[in-house]
Amino acid sequence: MTVEALPLSRRGFVSGLAGASMLAIGACSGGSGRRAPSTRGAIRVATQLSSTSDTLDPAKGATATDYTRHFMLYNGLTTIEDESLVATPSLALSIDSDDRRNWYFDLRRGIRFHDGSELTSEDVVFSLLRHKDPATGSKVATVAEQFEEVTADGKYGVRLRLTGPNADLLTVLSQSHFLIVQAGKADPDGTGTGPFRLSDFQPGVRTVVLRNAEYWIEGRPKLERVEVIGIPDEVSRVNALLSGDVHIINAISPHSTRRIEAEPSCAIMVSPSSLYSDLIMRQDELPTGNPHFVLAVKNLIDRPLINRAIYRNMSTIANDQPIAPFQKYFNAEIPQRMLDLDKARWHVRQGGLQGVRLPIYATAAANGSVDMASIIQEYGSQVGLNFAVNRVPADGYWSTHWMKHPMTFGDTNPRPTADLIFSLFYDSKADWNESAWKNERFDKLLVEARGATDEGLRAEMYGEMQQLVHDKCGLAIPVFISLIDGYDKRLKGLRPIPLGGLMGYRFAEHVWWED
Amino acid sequence: MSEPVSPAVEVANLAITLDLPDGSSRPIVEDVSFAIPKGEVRALIGESGSGKTTIALAMMGYSRFGGTISADRIRVGDLQIQSMGERELRKVRGSRIAYIAQSAATAFNPSRTIISQVIEPLTVHGLATGEQAREKAIGLFRALALPSPETIGDRYIHQVSGGQLQRLMAAMALISDPELIILDEPTTALDVTTQVEVLNTFKSAIAASGATAIYVSHDLAVVAQVADRIVVLKNGRMVEQGDAASLLQRPQSDYTRSLLAAARPVERGAAEEQAQSVLAVEGVHAGYGKVRDGLATIPVLSDVSLRLSAGSSLGVIGESGSGKSTLARVIAGLLPASNGSVRLNGELLSPGIDGRSKEQLRQIQLVFQNADTALNPVQTVRDAIARPLAFYHGIKGAAADARVSELLEIIQLQPAVAARRTAELSGGQKQRVNLARALAAEPTVLLCDEVTSALDTVVGAAILDLIDDLRRRMGIATVFISHDISTVRAFCDEMLVLYSGRAVETCPKPAFSAPLHHPYTELLVDSVPELDPEWLASLGGQHVPSLPETPADKSLCAFLPRCPVAVAGTCDVLPPPLVTVDGQRMLCHQRGEVPKNEDAGAQP
Amino acid sequence: MAVQGENRPAWIGLTRVVIQRVLSALLTLFLVSIVIFIAASLLPGDAAQEVLGQSATPQQVAALRHEMGLDQPAITRYVDWLVAMLSGDPGRSYIADMEVSDLIGERLRNSLTLAGVTALVSSVLALTIGIVSAINRGSKLDRTLNVVTLSLVAVPEFLIATIFVLIFSVKLVWLPSIAMVSPDASWGDMLRSMALPVLCLTFVVTAQMARLTRAAVADQLDRPYVEMARLKGVPFRRIILFHVLPNAAGPVLNAMALSLSYLMGGAIIIETIFSFPGLASLMVNAVTSRDMPLLQSCAMIFCTAYLVLILIADVVAILANPRLRS
Amino acid sequence: MIRSLASRAAALPLSGRIGLALVLFWLVIAVFGPLIAPYPVGRFVDEEVFSPATSQFWLGSDYLGRDVLSRLIWGARYTVLLALGAAVLAVFTGTSIALFAAIRGGVVDEVISRTMDTLISIPSKIFSLVLVAAFGSSLSLLMLIAAFTYIPGNYRIARALAVNLVGMDFVSVARARGEGAIHIAWREVLPNMIHPLMADMGLRFVFIVLLLSGLSFLGLGVQPPHADLGSLVRENISGLPQGASAILSPAIAIATLTVGANLFIDALKGKGDS
């Protein structure tokens, strides 16, 4: 397989996999502009999280703010630039692999870091291998475990040998964590090959970047200056957009969209995504390990209500399995599970679960989980299950509560491929097998699908795996949550990429400003 | 004496009413009329609640607590006060009518220099520049015999003594040459010895200024010294008025007669001698701060001894700061003595309360000076009296109620009072309850700490009578602590004079009228005003210290700087010896067997 | 009686008070550090787990713990921190991989500016309201001010802040809705961007200060020296300014110090709403990320601010009171 | 008993009577509210969110389409009981410690005062944030934490009052009688500081209401689906621009409750002083 870099052109964004129905670009006609940004093409971005853990190290990136910052400063070997979610070469000129295990990357020539030094294979080898060093604290250390060997082959060639074949490697490498930093820099300082140079960085306060005039892609970027700040409070973030203090914001609550739509100079962009908050029912504990319990809970989830009340109809109703309808390999054959109190009652009776008392741990760290828990608690009380919502602080949640009680909420970010999501979260041996379910058939299919060359067969296997998760896994997935951004309409060129908000965090390189 | 045709001050039909929160109004002064010729001092006399201060303040068109003043006429010179607005009144106050308050310590602003306040009457009315006013003030300070007149004004109130403050306040009043000066009990808060000096100064200052004055007081003897005519007030109405001498000699109303009687306590007979001593205090030292070698950092009492036999009464006398209240606290155990011993019925008492048994505590009861603070304001009378009954005697419930009624009867209060809160009682009633609470414990020793000083004369006299009566009936040994030597002489079998924490004299009743006492005792005796308008004038300047400069040495006689009979070479060199003359024990060089100074002041 | 210490300069006594207070403040700071350390060690999770978040594997956590020194016993970590702190080094943030002093630097300046401007505005306002109501005790005006200040105390600050943003930023577009102070901003820009936070905080603290000012002034108005001044014909304004205020200064300043100390640490909600880069949000950040050195330093700063304010109040009270001065 | 209370109430000034009426109103709501709440507190009853008042939903619906009236009633219950409980607890504990310190004096007083100074200098919101994060936020824990946060403040005030009172003659009288510390504290000293303590408690009550709402702002506080009044304001804040009843009614509820409580206490104090 050889992947060639595509000619650089801006793609249209209206058509595509996502489909127009899902693409709710809020737009209002007319309206004169509010306050203009101080310099032409200088914009301010407000994201929902910013703290002292803000980092310049792509390996440590943890928040939308981090990803956005990293994509402005660095480039990856590959990139995903549109809603097709196909990874294309970026710093690599071409990529070859015969067996999907041994990969050869041929780097572009003459690409320079912000300090003037040239990008070489040494930088790439360093950037890939540092994930395997525990001292780096990489977020994708587990993914990087499959890098069996990375070596330089001349100044511009890199060889990568995996522990096993992986068809999705190029997609994996397009993630922000695998962006390329300068060799030898254990603590990257923002010097990358990216479209912007770092001007000011204060963790928890702001990041300011200026246009990299020597950027290796002609005509990019179009903005002179981008300032990224964090406004953790959603209402404040929306107010800042409405008052013209910032020009683009992410993570808008569905309840705020009306306010933005009512303002003529602003608009919203909805990116459907496969992000989901899931209710975890541990299979290694009781009563959650009782199959009747799992089915009772799955049947008392009022998905349309969650979609309507919590997400103002901007989410996608899910079917207790992690592949969203707009994703490849989605199994449309599985009947949609709906609220069915009678069925739930029947399972409660069959499982001898009447009067069960159980806390559901919910947190602000898992999107919408507190309200979802309230809804489940409300319906649970109607079928004889006494749930208590236990809202716990976001900090400490993942280490202290997540998967540690019979019922907790998880929050799973979009993964570019079905294999990734299944192997990270559903493989019985996976660290994050949230519900601790074990299904031999599923595990077998997972391995087989990874190596399958026939697309039809692969689709069939992924379809069955979805059915298995839907039927047997201890996870309830009510909806897929769309990501909603708001922006000043003078900002042009935005289009949703289902990987995340703000065009999959890559907007800065693509958008431009028009008064 | 005939009234001049046009008096300087004229008041006709003055009435003052207080608006109550419930909408009704209560008259506090009614139907008061008087006229004062120019240059005369008119006294308004009465007990608390008589409206005397209220009337005086009405002369300035001012009423406390928002009372409403109405009068046919309040005229001061050509000013028709009754028809003036607040703005006009402000121009008059301090410039043409001046006020001298009862307590200079609170009437001066603590955070500003005294002189800045003294000259204010001139500066705020634009009568003089700051510099002129200062000069005038310093002149007045000199005239009022204040020490270091040039600089005393630059001090703050806490750096100046009470008598000096009162004179500084007089300077503040006199500085604008007012037509009318109102003096509101200006010497009440002072010690008797200081009172004499201040009265003298006031009297001559008023005479020198030629102003008309209104002198408000409860003390007939004081008033007799300064006033030309006296108005006696009761419950906001005039009882009688007349010139000072005739009113004192021939009072017309019963009320005036009762005031006069209260001012002159009748001497009581000595109690039956009982050899048995119930309380013995031996060489007590006490004070505040850290104790080292039996001496406190801030010593208050040094080497005080006393002996009290059953049923007898001892008077402890001294001026404020002499340590007399401290002595009571040491005996009661509230302030552990740093050295020396206290014995009860021969039994050595632990210095502090913690080491004393309940029975020992019960036997010594302390009646505090100020019943306002000695009674817990939120408790009912019953609560207050029943507590010692329950605590010492285990009497509770109905039995306690009965005993409370009994005690109330003893102290001459209605049984119904039991249900009232102590805060709702009058001063005299409070002091009676205070006493009843002590009696409830059935003590053998009763310590009465200035129990009448906060009370009106008549009320105080009644309380003293009551205590005296009860202690005789119940055979309680009593310690009367007082600043008033005439009270002590009247009620006590023995007298202990404290000066600066030392017992300068102890004197048994038979020796009260002995020819010689400690010079300080003599000063005290001489300073008590008598009901004789000529008394103040007759005193002259006899208590002049004999040594102009005295060394500061704690072992020497503390009274040395004020002593009129001190002799250089002995008194300022050697500590005073303890001399005993016919049961009198004195700490003095000059009171040995051979008196060296023949005419040591007037004899009592 | 004339006092011997009269000739002793006031500053000697004052210096002694200040030295005494500074020593006891150091003790307090030490106690605070212990309290903070204990409280923070009760929190679930640690810095390593927080950094790695949801994706943590036990091996990674262990490695990072080692790197951060979290594998040392708690006592050792505390003592190390304390020793470093005593030599003036607040340490290195676990999370941000920066010196704590660098992290705090600009934010401290921001917080102090915000608190300072608010203190200025609110104390003038509070004094005015307090004095006006004390003078008019029992009047309609007084009662109205009482209810108004009470109501203001009772309104959640995020509600006030949101209402102000809606009015002044979103509707009228007069003032920025976020208070991002950039270091190169001019004073004018800075004041403009801080206008709304200052306004909100003023609302929050003024009411309380005004109520206490009223009580202190009213108490002084009942003193005999005020009556005396009136009977001297001193104009009312002069009585308030020259007689009452110097005496009310002690309690008023104390109340103000207590309220103003709130401006640093209590501004957390205002900082959050206006994205103001101040210390309170940094401290909350330190709590949520279990960043002990940062948390300790923030606590030290807040505690110091409180102690300094109280000390200033006491010193001014001493200066205003000649009795305490000597 | 009831008659005497009624006559006392009638003797209050108008502001006090208004305050009393408001307090009683909210107390009744807090105690009997759940009986009159039209819907269960967590029930999703309205398709629309932030809808205005209708005959079906008297105070409209909230951000998730729940009945605001029902949530308000439950919220009042939590706020009143939680904040009142915490305020009482804080004042009770703080005052007890203060009495102990004031009566014992000396080193004991110094140590306690220094400790309280330490606690008071830590920003209260952040401190309770740490405590909630460390211990959780069940109702009883919330109450304990809120109380704990405000103990030092109350201690400061109570100690100042108590030290003054301990120096009074009537305390000396009790001491001279040989009374123990407990009698002196509870019988002699405490009754004399009730009014300022009540006023302080009123203020602490307000602070605790605010603290709870502040905690809910930071994502902690009463567990859903329940919410205290402050949390109701917070969770519906996105309805503020449209002036939704869902945010206005809890805000008004907080204001009337806290102002009422303080008017009432102010009036009591005024009476006690005269």
Domain ranges within chain B, ordered by starting residue: 9-109+178-263, 277-511, 514-604
Q: Which residues from chain D sit within 8 angstroms of residue C269, using beta carbons?
A: 125, 214, 217-218
Whole-number percent of chain C with pLDDT over 70 = 93
Integer Cα distance of A164 and B577 in angstroms: 114
What pLDDT sits at residue C190?
A: 79
pLDDT confidence tier of residue B408, bands split at 50, 70 and 90: very high
Phi, psi of B447 (to 5 degrees): -105, 115
CATH code of the domain covering residue C266: 1.10.3720.10
The mean per-residue pLDDT over the stretch A99-120 comes to 92
pLDDT confidence tier of residue A26, bands split at 50, 70 and 90: very low
Q: Which residues from chain C sit within 8 angstroms of residue B94, using beta carbons?
A: 231-234
Q: Break chain A into its structural domains and give their ranges.
A: 3-35+75-186, 36-56+194-273+482-515, 277-477
Integer Cα distance of B304 and B130 in angstroms: 52
**Interface residues on C facing B, Cβ-Cβ cutoff 8 A:** 1-3, 6, 223-225, 227-235, 238, 242-243, 246-247, 320-323, 326
pLDDT confidence tier of residue C18, bands split at 50, 70 and 90: confident
What pLDDT sits at residue B559?
A: 87
Pick the closest to residue A480 from A293, A329, A322 (CA basis).
A322
Residue D64 lies in a domain: no
Residue C57 lies in a domain: no
Q: Does residue A229 contact residue A48 with C-beta atoms inside 8 Å?
A: no
Integer Cα distance of A103 and A96 in angstroms: 6
Residue A418 has pLDDT above 50, yes or no: yes
CB contact under 8 A, C288 and A395: yes
Domain B9-109+178-263: which CATH class? alpha beta
In which residue are the tokens 């509560």 written?
A401
Read off the DSSP letter of residue A90: S
Residue D53 lies in a domain: no
What pLDDT sits at residue A253?
A: 87
Q: Does residue B90 contact residue C235 with C-beta atoms inside 8 Å?
A: yes
Integer Cα distance of A482 and A257 in angstroms: 12
Residue A455 has pLDDT above 90, yes or no: no
Least confident stretch, B278-287, B433-442, D225-234? D225-234
CA distance A363 to chain D (A): 8
Q: Answer whether B9-109+178-263 and B277-511 agree in fold.
A: yes
Residue A21 has pLDDT above 50, yes or no: no
Interface test with D, best of A241, A255, A395 (most D CBs within 10 A): A255
Residue C263 lies in a domain: yes
Phi, psi of A49 (to 5 degrees): -135, 130
Q: Is A189 on the interface with C (CB under 8 A)?
A: no
CATH code of the domain covering residue D240: 1.10.3720.10
B280: three-class secondary structure by DSSP: strand
Residue D163 lies in a domain: yes
What pLDDT sits at residue D3?
A: 59
CB contact under 8 A, D234 and C27: no
pLDDT confidence tier of residue D273, bands split at 50, 70 and 90: very low
Residue B505 has pLDDT above 60, yes or no: yes
Residues 6 or more apart in contact with residue D8 via CB below 8 angstroms: none
B98: three-class secondary structure by DSSP: strand
Give the number of other CB atoms < 10 A from CB of residue D273: 7
Integer Cα distance of D194 and B527 in angstroms: 46
Pick the closest to residue A207 from A56, A78, A314 (CA basis).
A56
CB contact under 8 A, B108 and C235: no
CB contact under 8 A, C53 and A204: no
Phi, psi of D257 (to 5 degrees): -65, -50
Going from the C-alpha of C316 to that of each of B382, B474, C209, C312, C324, the distances in angstroms are 47, 57, 17, 6, 11
Residue B214 has pLDDT above 80, yes or no: yes
- pLDDT tens digit sequence for B438-466: 999 999 999 999 888 778 888 888 888 88
Chain D: list its partners (3+ Cβ pairs within 8 Å).
A, B, C
What pLDDT sits at residue A37?
A: 46
The pair of structure tokens assigned to C81 is 């921190």
Integer Cα distance of B594 and B571 in angstroms: 16
Residues 6 or more apart in contact with residue B587 via CB below 8 angstroms: B502, B503, B504, B505, B518, B557, B576, B577, B578, B579
What pLDDT sits at residue C175?
A: 86
What pLDDT sits at residue B471?
A: 87
Residue C73 lies in a domain: no
Q: Does residue A500 contact residue A67 with C-beta atoms inside 8 Å?
A: yes
pLDDT confidence tier of residue A25, bands split at 50, 70 and 90: very low
Integer Cα distance of A3 and A106 in angstroms: 11
Residue type, C296: Q
Phi, psi of A279 (to 5 degrees): -85, 120
pLDDT confidence tier of residue B249, bands split at 50, 70 and 90: confident
What pLDDT sits at residue B146?
A: 87
Please report the sign of the dihedral spanned by the C-alpha atoms of residue B175, residue B179, residue B182, residue B188.
positive
CA distance B373 to chain D (A): 5
- pLDDT tens digit sequence for D110-149: 889 888 888 888 888 888 888 888 887 788 888 998 999 8
Angle, in degrees to the nearest 10, between helices C74-86 and C292-320: 50
Going from the C-alpha of B599 to that of each of B529, B548, B561, B568, B595, the distances in angstroms are 21, 20, 19, 17, 10
Residue A273 has pLDDT above 60, yes or no: yes
Integer Cα distance of A175 and D153 in angstroms: 52
Residues 6 or more apart in contact with residue B434 via CB below 8 angstroms: B367, B368, B371, B374, B375, B451
Residue C110 has pLDDT above 80, yes or no: yes
Output the DSSP codes for B281-347.
EEEEEEEEEEEETTEEEEEEEEEEEEEEETT-EEEEE--TTSSHHHHHHHHHTSS--SEEEEEETTE
What pLDDT sits at residue A40?
A: 65
Parent domain of C235: 2-42+107-325
3-state helix, strand, coil in chain D (%, to 5): 75, 0, 20
pLDDT confidence tier of residue A322, bands split at 50, 70 and 90: very high
CB contact under 8 A, A235 and D237: yes
Integer Cα distance of A110 and A216 in angstroms: 8
Domain A277-477: which CATH class? alpha beta
Residue B157 has pLDDT above 80, yes or no: yes
Does chain A touch chain B (at least 3 C-beta pairs within 8 Å)?
Answer: no
Residue A33 has pLDDT above 50, yes or no: no
Integer Cα distance of B422 and B444 in angstroms: 26
Angle, in degrees to the nearest 10, between helices D124-135 and C279-288: 10
What pLDDT sits at residue B484?
A: 84
Pairs of CB atoms within 8 A across B/D = 52
Count how many domains chain C has: 1
pLDDT confidence tier of residue A290, bands split at 50, 70 and 90: very high
Going from the C-alpha of A306 to that of each of A223, A321, A376, the distances in angstroms are 39, 17, 10
Please report the sign of the dihedral spanned by the C-alpha atoms of residue C56, residue C62, residue C67, residue C68.
positive
Interface test with B, best of D4, D168, D172, D177 (most B CBs within 10 A): D177
Name the residue facing D177 among B361, B376, B377 (closest C-beta): B361
Which fold, B277-511? Rossmann fold (3.40.50)
Residue D194 lies in a domain: yes
The CA radius of gyration of chain B, in Å to the nearest whole number, is: 26
Q: What is the mean pLDDT of chain A?
A: 86
pLDDT confidence tier of residue B357, bands split at 50, 70 and 90: very high
Least confident stretch, A68-72, A201-205, B292-296? B292-296
CATH superfamily, domain A3-35+75-186, is Dipeptide-binding Protein; Domain 1 (3.90.76.10)
Interface test with B, best of C231, C316, C318 (most B CBs within 10 A): C231
Going from the C-alpha of B403 to that of each of A12, B394, B410, B474, C199, the distances in angstroms are 104, 12, 10, 16, 66
The pair of structure tokens assigned to A286 is 């009781």
What pLDDT sits at residue A212?
A: 93
Going from the C-alpha of C319 to that of each of A466, C14, D201, the distances in angstroms are 79, 9, 33
* A14 burial via Cβ count (<10 Å: 0-12, 13-18, 19+): exposed
CA distance B10 to chain D (A): 35
The mean per-residue pLDDT over the stretch A325-353 comes to 92
CB contact under 8 A, A255 and D220: no
Whole-number percent of chain B with pLDDT over 90 = 31
What pLDDT sits at residue B1?
A: 44
Whole-number percent of chain C with pLDDT over 90 = 9
What pLDDT sits at residue A338?
A: 93
pLDDT confidence tier of residue B604, bands split at 50, 70 and 90: very low
Q: Does residue B238 contact residue B32 with C-beta atoms inside 8 Å?
A: yes
What pLDDT sits at residue A29?
A: 31
Integer Cα distance of B44 and B42 in angstroms: 7
What pLDDT sits at residue B596?
A: 45
pLDDT confidence tier of residue B343, bands split at 50, 70 and 90: very high
ipTM over 0.90: no
What pLDDT sits at residue C6?
A: 44
The CA radius of gyration of chain C, in Å to the nearest whole number, is: 24
* Top-confidence residue, A420 or D96: D96
The mean per-residue pLDDT over the stretch B522-548 comes to 79
Please report the sign of the dihedral spanned by the C-alpha atoms of residue B20, residue B26, residue B31, residue B33.
negative
Give contacts of C 43-102 with D, CB under 8 A.
Answer: 43-44
Kindly give the pairing relationship between strand A266-281 and strand A475-476: antiparallel
Q: Which residues from chain B sit within 8 angstroms of residue D274, using beta carbons?
A: 21
What pLDDT sits at residue B65?
A: 75
Q: What is the mean pLDDT of chain B?
A: 86
What pLDDT sits at residue A6?
A: 44
Residue B78 has pLDDT above 60, yes or no: yes
Residue B595 has pLDDT above 50, yes or no: no
The mean per-residue pLDDT over the stretch A262-274 comes to 90
Chain C: list its partners (3+ Cβ pairs within 8 Å).
A, B, D
* D34 burial via Cβ count (<10 Å: 0-12, 13-18, 19+): middle
Q: Which architecture does CATH list for A36-56+194-273+482-515?
A: 3-Layer(aba) Sandwich (3.40)
Count how many domains chain D has: 1
Residues 6 or more apart in contact with residue D240 via CB below 8 angstroms: A235, C159, C162, C163, C166, D247
Please report the sign of the dihedral spanned by the C-alpha atoms of residue C129, residue C130, residue C133, residue C136.
negative
Going from the C-alpha of C220 to that of each of B189, C232, C253, the distances in angstroms are 22, 17, 14
